[in-house]
Amino acid sequence: YTVFGRVSPEQKAILVKAYETWGCQMADHMHGMFAFALWDEEAERLFCLRDQFGTKPFYYYVTEDGRLLYGTMIRQIMEQDGFVKVLNDKLLQIYMSLTYIPGEETFFEGVKKLLPGRYLIWEKGKITIERYWKPEFHPDENLTLEELADELHETVKAIMPETKAADEEIDSFLSGGVDSSYV
């Protein structure tokens, strides 16, 4: 197996083991922010995975001769042989109205975003995209507000050491919503 993405040798070994164990369902056992591609030499299949919330970007493009170009930045795709730079002018009006581009399209014709909570399989020149996660909320109506606040606090406290590097600080954006109330 070959893993493509900004991951350490230890992380590559873990991703390969997860793929060997769970295959495409490996994402059900992961949390945090990630985007990577894994080449399965034996099956001749490329498996690409993006985190549940889309924190890490992942882009892909099919060349005229049927090759798949991919990367976590569009610039990585543009630098590869076979990329044809064409403006996707259909998105100008959308961008001017919303100040962002929803969905999988980008400003470059043919370059697409792998949407959050999805994986892509490239096999025998064919792309298959599956959604592996969608947000669901199932509140426990029996808990008090104080118990829910305690549970949120304990969850954040438990997850932070797993999702940040030792030299990183924890910050929160104050939007006037749940995160502001929590802080």
* H-helix or E-strand spanning residue 71: strand 68-71
Q: What is the pLDDT of residues 30-84, one digit of tens each?
A: 988 899 999 999 999 999 999 999 999 999 999 999 999 999 999 999 999 999 9
Local confidence band at 1 (pLDDT 50, 70, 90 cut-offs): confident
**Torsion-angle region of 100 (φ positive above 0: left; ψ -120 to 50: alpha; else: beta):** beta
pLDDT of residue 166 exceeding 80? no
Decide if 34 contacts 4 (C-beta within 8 A): no
Rounded to whole angstroms, the Cα distance separating 37 from 71 reads 9
What is the pTM for the complete model shown? 0.79
